[in-house]
A = this chain, B = another copy of it.
């Protein structure tokens, strides 16, 4: 038997950078499959643009342009009207993995990792060898352009071709890259759908999209009002682990543990500190937080769990809002009927606040509708960002699966229904680095279920009505078919005029099924309107739905 010594084996020991890791495992960032890879690129840049605009208090205007420049090779440009990136930060912001302004802030944002944009660059660089090209201005006056690559061994940016100039009419960020091994597809998992859903959850933003065929689609801003700006919040004591508490304590400048607790966390008052003092007599709350030991922290956490706390501040989590969702659904899906629910803030893992919003929309452009068939779909969002992939791994899908839909007269397999769910939180527990699914935490699933069920209750009478009409329409049509034959037979027997008999019979049937008749008329009316709409679409085909 060979017996190789450890010293021999460990000659190969090396350290690696996070950039090398993701270069080798790009599927973990969402770069698996050509269609998905393209969406991931657009997703990362658009998400960053939205976060930047909102942080600066600017209504987002985003342009996305995709050009095909070879086989499975595209040039992608995303331009926004945001605050721009100061020149000295641009390399790290777009070309270093795990660098950014978001990771350490405890507030609701779309991005939270500092991985996305650098991941895109890594993907561009490894598939086409090209840097990304950036143009930015932070003040409508001075602007610059530059190229950025990553030194993957060091996870550091290489910024070249810096060119400064004066620009009167541009403020914001424009990022352009060439990417290969990707594919544009107009499917449910494609960029068009991604942007449509982005518009759905962000009615305050305007998106102009030019697809590889040069067709332009405008997702018009539906509300002129900036969403309320979430603020960084203080953590709630119930959301802390022993380790968190200890780390906060050791980096605190407070003089005593007692004042540290009041100053660092939300809902901690002098009264609460007094309660803790009684519950954990072994911990000296008058010593410096820097002297806190693990045992102290453990004791405090135990005591914290025994105290009654007011729930975390709800103002830290900003949902889309019931009215805004209604406007957006009307704007994008134009359903026959919808029910929108905004739940109260809840907490998971003890102290992380989150809010679930749900809607069920029926008819119009809701659901999946092709010439062949109609079915429902689930539109998943986390902090207003559409989640198109990994649905099987997601708390939203799980919640929808656990619902007994029959109770609400809903059949997702056959009805034109869209189930809309948005989860907002200062911390979304994504199941993977690619952030395509929300981890299946029980408290989150339960709350999503309640939200969907509440929305479903809102549409169930409407759908029952629809189904009843459908049932009557069926009967009405069947009986009408027999009426003609019957009138002929009766005419032969009685010698009476057949048309008169038929007329009489029809009157009786219509009187018996009034809804069916009404429905038929509406349908004819609608078909006419649809026809004229179609013509309209052809006329201004430059404008999207």
Contacts and interface: CB of A to CB of B under 8 A. Distances in A.
B298 A129 contact: yes
B433 A433 contact: yes
Contact of A101 (B13, B139, B440): B13
Interface in A83-137: 83-86, 89, 92-93, 96, 98-101, 103-105, 113-114, 125-130
26 contacts: A1-B59, A2-B229, A3-B57, A4-B56, A4-B57, A5-B138, A6-B56, A9-B101, A10-B86, A13-B89, A14-B101, A14-B103, A15-B98, A17-B98, A18-B18, A20-B98, A24-B103, A25-B429, A27-B439, A28-B432, A32-B429, A181-B241, A393-B393, A432-B432, A432-B433, A433-B433
Q: Which 8 A-B pairs have the closest CB atoms?
A: A129-B294, A2-B57, A392-B392, A6-B138, A6-B83, A126-B243, A12-B101, A15-B99
A499 to B, nearest CB: 57
Contacts of A58: 1, 3
A392 to B, nearest CB: 4
Q: Give the dominant DSSP class at A's interface.
A: loop
B429 A6 contact: no
Interface of A: 1-7, 9-10, 12-18, 20-21, 24-25, 27-28, 32, 52, 55-59, 83-86, 89, 92-93, 96, 98-101, 103-105, 113-114, 125-130, 138-139, 181, 226, 229, 241-243, 246, 294, 297-298, 390, 392-393, 429-433, 439-441
A408 to B, nearest CB: 25
A259 to B, nearest CB: 23
A4 B83 contact: yes
Contacts of A441: 32
Contacts of A1: 57-59, 226
A489 to B, nearest CB: 50
A5 B56 contact: yes
Nearest to A7: B86
A118 to B, nearest CB: 11
